Amino acid sequence: MDQNFSLMAQSRANYYTAGSPVQFVRVELLKGDVTGEVAVCLTFKNVGTEPLTGLVIHFKCKDAAGQVLCEDDFYYEQLDAQPGDLFGSDDAVFVSDTPVSSVEIEQDRAFLNGHGVDLRGYKRVRLQNPRVLPGSIAKTLQARTGNSQLVCVPQDTEYGWFCACGAFHPNEEAAQVCSECGGDRAYIKAALTTILEEARRAAEEQQREINAVSNHVAAPAQPEPQQPDQPDPAATAAAAQAAINEQEGGTTAQFAPPVADEPTNAEMARVQRYAPNGRLFEDDPEEEDDEVDGTRMYDTDEVDGDYDEEEEPRGRYVDDEEESEDDVMAERIIHWAPPITAIICALIIAVTLIYYFVLA
């Protein structure tokens, strides 16, 4: 029964056999479109210097549980694989209706130009999987080289070199052109180096633009000019200080009475009687007239007895040198009025500064 097979899966060999003229390259699973059976196909490569006419291998196929589905020898006969040629991908070594999970290969004997070579004594060397290129870089590399198979990072190892298609070429092969994708080793590396350099420069330029935008955003905002109708805090402070100095040197002092529900003593009662509105003296011309008329504040107690003509009765006048309780209280009020006024002005200035520099 004739049927077509489509590729289900493939895997590259993760080792190479050091010194052997034959290398195992990959395994492929193909599915028949009629029966649904799975065919196992192996690919090998002649890396020697002589034509390869035959190969004997031993294989073992296992399922997902690790159970052996088939173990047998397979003969590749009537070959004509020249140095660097691939072979075996058209020959199925095993056909199964059960899914195959893994395949183990052991090379037995090769026939080079008519004579047999024992391959069982060559040591296997495990290889690291090639690194995959980022999608954007891979697409650019494929466009530059015209090779759609380039998806990996080309790299050199002590055992050989990896092409960008993922194929490994051992030192025994001494090849500079990939036998699988046809890519030139030096050209692919040079093209990828140029692409990476362009990407680096683009990234640096983008970073400079980001930094420029970030610095512009983080820069402190320039203070807005004050509007003409808004008071200048410094001018307000200077005006307040000038007002304080004027009050300290002037004849009209302001009084801020202490907060209290009721006067607690006679002294406080006297202060409230003589300064009920918080002012010690009234700036009133009538006050000067009263002084001209001789109306002075004094005690009403008369002094009894005789006195000399040169002596005047010593009542308790406000302009006498003897201090009365009223004089003491007035002196205290005059003493404390400027500091209290200064504190009030300082509070006003502080509130103004907070409003314009913090809340505004």
Domain boundaries, the chain: 1-126, 129-202, 233-298+314-359
Which stretches within the chain are classed as H helix? 135-145, 185-218, 233-249, 266-274, 285-292, 325-354
Considering only the top CATH level, what class is 1-126? mainly beta
Q: Phi and psi at residue 197, in whole multiples of 5°?
A: -65, -40
By C-alpha distance, which of 60, 59, 58, 61 is closest to 38? 61
Q: Mean pLDDT lowest for which of 33-42, 182-191, 351-360?
A: 351-360
pLDDT per position as a tens digit, 161-213: 999 999 999 988 888 999 889 999 999 999 999 999 988 898 888 888 888 88
Alpha carbons 258 and 255: distance in angstroms, whole number: 9
pLDDT per position as a tens digit, 65-113: 889 999 999 999 999 999 989 999 989 999 988 888 889 999 999 999 8
Residue 259 reports pLDDT greater than 90: no
CB atoms within 10 A of CB 76: 21
CB 76, CB 119: distance < 8 Å: no
Does pTM top 0.85 for this prediction?
Answer: no
Q: Provide the pLDDT for residue 257.
A: 43
Amino acid of residue 288: E
Q: Provide the pLDDT for residue 212.
A: 83
